[in-house]
Amino acid sequence: MVAVTVFGGSGFLGIRLVQRLVDRGMVVRVAVRHPERARAALKEAGVDRVEVVFADVCDQVSIAAAVAGAAAVVNAVSAYVEMGALTFSAVHEAGAERVATEVAKAGLARLVLVSGIGADADASSPYVRSRGRGEDLVKGAFPPATVIRPGAIFGPGDALFGAIADIARFLPVLPLIGGGRTRLQPVYVMDVAEAVARIVVDPGTAGRTYELAGPRIYTFREVVELALRACGRRRLLLALPFPAADLMARIFELSRWPLLTTGQVDLLRKDNVASGALPGLSDLRITPTPVEEIVPTYIGRSTARSPD
């Protein structure tokens, strides 16, 4: 039995990761800012054999309590929208460093940080820059940490294909951010969860950085077209320059659950594909799942009754 603390275990990736760890017979502690909300989400996903505790990556005391007694820690906390004190820097940099520091203090052997393809400490984008700096800070505080950099993650409830289908419900025209030329290499959420589960129990992955990407590269235009086919809709596609996309994202961010964020726009400014210079899914003996095999199973179902 392996005791694993998962920070952010009630998020899009976190829930799948917790499911996979439990299925492997591991004892899991989910560390989140809203325990009751997390318990409800995990129960809805069929995961109730886990301990859920309060922890905030901005609060060192709660982090220390959450990692106590664990054999491994996964930090899957992320922020796509800055809200008050919860800035990209506070979460991805200072927060990630606090977790790594407490892991080191507790004498634990394993820490996995979920980052993203394209993370760059020198990037102009606050979101991308915070991811890169966060990696550096974590490695400085706990050198054996393993970093995973997933590409755009897809699966039921995602912020990629699902968000495009949701926008298509309300708008007769869909924006092609940056002209739709950005290249993406989407990766299935369950493949990422399986990768983390394997990394946690494999000491040979310590200190390494993995790029987790799917089997095929698409332009953003192709991603939009695929989402529209999956939900059975036809929409006019209009090229949208990045400044206009930023404005649209800021308007969406005024809602509680924004369909588009400035962080997502920033990720589309540069190609989001594996470099090929780092190990990936194949090195973990995982065959990446094709987009076409999964997306129609949840896009079509979630939008089937929506008015066209």
pLDDT tens string 6-19: 999 999 999 999 99
Please give the structure tokens belonging to residue 47: 């995961």
SS3 assignment, position 154: strand
The overall average pLDDT reported for the chain is 93
Q: Which domains does the chain possess?
A: 3-154+186-215+272-288 (3.40.50.720)
Q: Are 73 and 67 spatial neighbours (Cβ–Cβ below 8 Å)?
A: yes
SS3 assignment, position 201: coil
**Residue-level pLDDT at 259:** 76
Please give the structure tokens belonging to residue 83: 């809200």
**Residue-level pLDDT at 1:** 60
| pTM of the entire predicted model | 0.93
**212-225 as b/e, with b when 16 or more CB fall inside 10 Å?**
bbbbebbbbbebbb
- Does position 172 have pLDDT exceeding 50, yes or no? yes
- Does position 223 have pLDDT exceeding 90, yes or no? yes
- Does position 2 have pLDDT exceeding 80, yes or no? no
